[in-house]
Amino acid sequence: MEENRALQPHTLVIENRNKLTVTGATDIGSFDEESVIIFTDYGEITIQGNSLQVTRLSVDSGEFCAQGNIISVGYVEKTQKNSSIFSKVFR
């Protein structure tokens, strides 16, 4: 069962607000020039910015790198990831 496995640690490093490196990524939700959504065992990370470009992506190793003007970084708890309006209605 997946719920009994150990959580994979992650790191997030921002250099000079223009280079971002994340390790421990389990999946990439989406990315474009203004936002990136990365999933980890500890929840979802949302990066907002301008001119964001993915420079490295390896789901096998869990490494993600991007460059651009980074405006904000936020975490969303893992339990909220699956909490859509439909799941609330059909409980």
Residues pairing with 50 in the sheet: 69
Alpha-helical (H) ranges within 1-91 are: 78-81, 85-89
pLDDT at 14: 96
21-56 per-position pLDDT tens digit = 999 999 889 999 999 999 999 999 999 999 999 999
Confidence band for 69, pLDDT divided at 50, 70 and 90 = very high
The two tokens of residue 57 are: 């992506």
pLDDT at 79: 57
Residue type, 36: V
34 near 51, Cβ under 8 Å? no
